[in-house]
Amino acid sequence: MCGIAGYIGKKEAQNFLLDALKRLEYRGYDSAGVAVLSDDAILKCIKSVGKICVLEEKLNSNNLSGKSGIAHTRWATHGFPSEKNAHPHGDCKEEIFVVHNGIIENYKKLKEDLEKSGHKFCSETDTEVISHLIESHFKGNLEEAVLNSLVHIKGAYAIAVIAKYDPAKIVVAKKSSPLIIGIGVGENFIASDASAVIGYTDQIVYLEDDELGIITADDYHIISTISNNCVQREHCKIKQDASEIQKEGYEHFIFKEIFEGPEVVKNSFRGRIVDGEGLVKLGGLDVLNQDQIRNINRIIIIACGTANYAGRVGEYMLEEYAGIPVEVEIASEFRYRKPIIDAQTVVIAISQSGETADTLASVQEAKRKGALVLGIVNTVGSTIARETHAGVYNHAGPEISVASTKAFISQIVVLSLLTVYLGRTRDMSFVIGKRITDEIKKLPDLMTRVLKSSNEVEKLAKKYSNYRNFFFLGRKYNYPIACEGALKLKEVASLIHAEGYAGGEMKHGPIAMIDKNFPCFFIAPSDSVYEKMWSNIEEVKARDGKVIAIATEGNEDIKSLADDVIYIPKTLEMLTPLLTAIPLHLFAAYVGIELGLDIDKPRNLAKSVTVE
């Protein structure tokens, strides 16, 4: 959450900064700002409330000429969205400006001490204490002032700092929030993630925790904030291109990403299925000892939000087919428990961004307790990808819409591959392994068939968009999908309340809310629990509830109960979530459009939650 950008070089900084903010807007969009240092050492800052287009209008009517600058798009943690709370934040004389992601836990005490020393504060944010701290230590050398200031700070931060009286550099520092340096020719870049610099450079350096970078137009240096020693780090090559972060003809990113599902599935299993052998090869796990893999006796999956629901699908897969007990934990709670972990416990962290603060903290806690920690991550080179012992990349490509769709699909595919990978080291037969892998390879075509029903889903969205409460119900593999469907509707159509429940739990309380104004989505493919779901539908209909059912093609009987039916093709029970999720994602997006909402950037949400 929140996006940082910075530029220093021979070109006008504003051009890159504005473009970078547009690409980073999914990380925060309640306010934004830019500070640029001109060739004659004039440091100007312009801020606005709202989306980047508002800032762009202000910049068009103000001259911010200069070859270095920093910028920020905000998702509020401290202080209401306003110009005074927007970043960059300046010192008393506005000669030093700072942009910051994270939370300064001791900012109140720092602010009190600085005010006693005569510093005047303009905002309600925690970030402003950083600029004043740097001011209090500044004696002409910016990196020294930043280093001396960081000693006093407790919490998480990624910062970029620019100063009028040390103009040839931008200083950056990181602890628990992501930050990269983009390496150019006669210019260098700073950003929260690689999407901001694609097309400007394909060479980046990841800053690690407790490191400070000194960036000039021609060079950069990294030093440890703990030892003050220089740090040498190899460049990483960005493998994406600019087209991957464009809408490519779609009006909204979320639709582009939903319709990319079949290709995402192909990319997730490409090169990983051993044809004809019922085996899966996961190159990211090759570093592990095979005896260690065979001796796994328990798995704990940690994740947040949508990734947690993918993990719950994986729980059913791994227990039923790999024969390994699995627990799925909300990452934000896992770190505060006292989990029982031994040498045969594996912890699997799932995160699209690879920067989710709670998941990262849980990874670190699991490592401290001696667990083997694996990652299922979409973003190459991200912090979680680097912190885990081994892992599997999703290969879903950049996901720009705040509400996750294609990454969720790819996470389930990877978990199905992992199930075969682990199952075949145990009791899974060749026949079962081959059947699962063969069915996985059919998924792209089956998903394409589901996507062809998008017009029908759009009609349902128009029909039901005036309702303000929904239940989503499923059993077994599709219980997590019910939760995911409810979450998507809450996220994207943020004026609507929705709840996801296990079908059998409805009569233990929630059924009291059912009436003609409380529609229910039933995920009811023709599987091992279909008859149970039929009974649940009858219970709702007996109370005058409206029913929208997701059923398997050929099931005409369900039309006698359901008000509306969406059909999916037949597949293995364990793989049905990959098909049932699609109409639910589409429904949420179409309802959001009916309500006139910005479906790519839902209110109060940010793409990557990098603060606790």
Smallest CA-to-CA distance from 487 within 479, 502, 497, 473 is with 497
What is the tally of helices (H) and strands (E) in the chain?
Answer: 18, 27
Separation of alpha carbons 315 and 318, rounded Å: 5
Contact yes or no for 35/10 (Cβ under 8 A): no
Position 315 scores a pLDDT of 98
Smallest CA-to-CA distance from 363 within 397, 381, 390 is with 390
Smallest CA-to-CA distance from 309 within 193, 221, 407, 235 is with 407
Separation of alpha carbons 473 and 488, rounded Å: 14
Would residue 2 show up in a list of annotated catalytic residues for this protein? yes
Position 245 scores a pLDDT of 66
Amino acid 151 reads: V
Give the containing element (helix H, strand E) for 247: none
Strands lying side by side in the sheet with 188-191: 43-49, 31-37, 68-74, 3-8, 188-191, 180-183, 203-206, 236-237
Long-range contacts of 554-557 (CB under 8 A, 24+ apart): 554/526, 555/526
DSSP type of residue 321: I
Q: Can you list the domains of the chain with their CATH numbers?
A: 3-245 (3.60.20.10), 247-450 (3.40.50.10490), 453-605 (3.40.50.10490)
Segment 600-609, tens digit of pLDDT: 988 877 666 6
Which residues, at least 6 apart from 461, have a Cβ–Cβ distance to it below 8 Å? 586, 587, 590, 591, 593, 594
Give the containing element (helix H, strand E) for 456: helix 454-464
Smallest CA-to-CA distance from 97 within 46, 63, 50 is with 46
Angstrom distances, CA of residue 105 to CA of 118, 127, 153, 155, 611: 22, 10, 8, 5, 11
Separation of alpha carbons 595 and 425, rounded Å: 50
Contact yes or no for 316/470 (Cβ under 8 A): no
Separation of alpha carbons 1 and 592, rounded Å: 22
Smallest CA-to-CA distance from 403 within 596, 177, 608 is with 608
Position 30 scores a pLDDT of 85
What are the percentages of helix, strand and coil residues in the chain, rounded to 5? 40, 25, 40
Identify the active-site residue in 47, 174, 490, 607.
607
Position 609 scores a pLDDT of 66
In sequence order, the β-bridge partners of residue 212 are 173, 223
Separation of alpha carbons 580 and 573, rounded Å: 11
SS3 254: helix
Segment 197-248, tens digit of pLDDT: 989 999 999 999 999 999 999 999 999 999 999 999 888 887 766 656 677 7
Position 6 scores a pLDDT of 97
Contact yes or no for 28/87 (Cβ under 8 A): no
Give the containing element (helix H, strand E) for 47: strand 43-49
Smallest CA-to-CA distance from 486 within 496, 126, 476, 477 is with 496
Smallest CA-to-CA distance from 370 within 388, 392, 345, 394 is with 345
Show the low-confidence residues of the chain (pLDDT under 70). 1, 78-79, 240-245, 606-612
Predicted TM-score (pTM) of this structure = 0.83
Would residue 236 show up in a list of annotated catalytic residues for this protein? no
Residue appearing with tokens 């929705």:
498
In sequence order, the β-bridge partners of residue 500 are 472
Separation of alpha carbons 156 and 178, rounded Å: 10
Kindly provide the residue ranges of all beta strands, DSSP E only, lying in 506-587, ordered along the sequence.
520-523, 547-552, 564-568
Lookup: tokens for 488: 């998507």
Separation of alpha carbons 27 and 192, rounded Å: 9
Separation of alpha carbons 38 and 68, rounded Å: 7
Separation of alpha carbons 123 and 134, rounded Å: 17
